[in-house]
Structure 1
């Protein structure tokens, strides 16, 4: 009797584990694409850009401190943080207080601004 109880508990555990994995799989496939744009919507690439304000420009390190809104492609809430910049030449025209729209990607290490546009004041 003890052996059959153990087998029953083991079978129940396996069934619950399989059900949990199936729910996780459904959840992960139901998420929108990383760019935040649906492939059928015909939306522009600008929707993938995040609004922000430059707080500091570090020319020597090729970094920007940006106060930004939600970065959807990184699933990151709004905050102020430091980003490396892919094109350091862009830093020469930027200053603290500039309003921007930008795209950031995971880099190694940290995050990298790969696209940046000044917005009208």
Structure 2
């Protein structure tokens, strides 16, 4: 039973990593970082997987540690998806 649970956990982690890797990287600019609320405001381009055109909006973040990587004014590349009904940034990094 323990081996089955370990194998199942590994499969779920691999599936989650694959799903995140399949998300398109989107260009944006950080407008505001709210670490207390675990939210970030981004001016962004089109997000194809969400069928969203470019705009400025607030996103939830999947991990508050993402907010330590960026500050207002930074140009960024990020991925976003709908998680538990909320638009959520899953990864973010400053653009070079």
Q: Please tell me the TM-score bracket, short chain as reference.
A: 0.7 to 0.9
Query: How far 1:110 moved relative to its partner?
Result: 2.1
Query: How far 1:46 moved relative to its partner?
Result: 8.4
- TM-score with structure 2 setting the length: 0.72
Aligned-partner Cα distance in 2 for 1:47–1:89: 20
Larger CA Rg, structure 1 vs 2? 1
Q: Paired residue for 1:79?
A: 55
Partner secondary structure for residue 27 of structure 2 = strand
Larger RCO (alpha carbons 8 Å, 6+ apart) = 2
Q: Please, which runs of 5 or more residues in structure 1 have no aligned partner?
A: 1-44
Aligned residues between the structures: 76
Query: How far 1:47 moved relative to its partner?
Result: 7.8
Q: Please, which runs of 5 or more residues in structure 2 have no aligned partner?
A: 1-20
Higher percent of residues as strand: 2
